[in-house]
Structure 1
Amino acid sequence: MASIPTYFISIFKIPASVANKVEKLQRDFLWGDGRNKRKIHYVKWSDVCKKKAIGGLGIGCILDKNKGILAKWVWRFGTERGALWGKVIVAKYRINGNQLLWFGSLSPTDSFFVKAVNNLWKEGSISAVLIEEGFGVVIGKEDRADFWNDIKWNSRSLKAAFPRVFALAAKKNGPTLEFGRWIDAK
């Protein structure tokens, strides 16, 4: 019942009106409602949508699933460095392939997929805050994390946490690989 729209919400941002209609179809199916006949609903829809572990059926909210699945594309972009799909996105939308996260530029000709992923990052939005807090940077030999922007100190970028040091820095951007040397710890 919940897996039917999954393919579409993994590529497109679902409009709230469509999400409401899909959830209505799910509710009607579960409760046996028809066009002319409405039955008594003994359980609230919000309870049905809860995880199975806490007494629900695990259906979930379609709008939340949509944001989560689109956010996973951003995560995959940062972790699957050599993937063909990532190379296609970089080439087609002229995105810097060395970035840790996907911050594409929007134009009227961009696909619905690119627009949906970019809309997750609107400044001040709840999804942008959650994605930002959920990402952690692990430094390694072939790291592409931006030193001043991606590395965090007390939930703030190094640039924001240490503005005076940033102002004095000779190198203002680049991956952490360019800010020192790698020493293997044994």
Structure 2
Amino acid sequence: MSLLVNGSPAAQFSVSRGIRQRDLMAPFLFLMVAEGFAGFVRKARFIGAFEGFKIGRGGVEVCDLQFVDDTIIVCNPSDKNIFFLKTILRCFELASGLKVNSNRSSLYGIRLYDSSISAAANFLFCKVGSIPFLYLGILVGANPRRLSTWQVLSNIPTYMLSLYKAPKKVLDKIVSLQRSFLWGNKRGGKGIVWVAWDVVCKSKELGGLGVRDLSRFNLALLGKWRWRRLQDKEAFWVKVINLKYGLEWLSHPNNSTSRWWRDLGKLGSSVEDSGGWFVDNVWKDIGNGLQTLF
């Protein structure tokens, strides 16, 4: 349709209906559109135009990982894959009306020359990223046991720099407040009253503060993952883990494996080898014997 401006028709525009911002239907509609992108990737893989990264010898192919509008594409570093990846992104833009944000998209290379990564990033109109990188609030590729991984305040995003002119001064101020709280005010000479940690972790009914014991909570979460690996055998992450570390149940984890996998192997054990309360309390029904070997 067109509007009359001073008696003359202005430029034509399309009539459509939309939803208000923050409408509860918006996430569901977006997921339907994002599923279209996954369909493009599946179609390209089916016709052999695009190839992901295979785990093991002819194993599971890792390609697209999506969570709402955060997407990771994993592929072999070939000119064909880079070309069809750009084709997929362009087709998705034309079909959905959405546009990929180049400023927030990065390309990461593993065991590649910097020149190759830069050329591919220029072709895809994105930035060259470095590992570890932030995905869904988690640093992927970082050592979770290092203190630097969790110093979030030292990695203030660029758009926050206007609010925090001097990040180092902010960190120094926080450290000063912590010391004043823990060791007491210099003027008054009074600090906090120390209480044993096991008392703090007790429930309020037993006189504690009800603070969760993080070490025990971590063991519970590890036990959950170990149980899920036994139950969800057809899950994608279980197939990847089995191809990477083998079908044997967490036997002899070594230093070359991930820390998460080593922690699973030592779950409930007081020594370095596998075993402990988890293994002692789990048994297997033979059933038809198809999944049990002697």
Q: TM-score scaled by structure 1?
A: 0.46
More helix by share: 1
Q: TM-score scaled by structure 2?
A: 0.31
More strand by share: 2
Q: If you compute each CA radius of gyration, which structure gives the higher value, 1 or 2?
A: 2
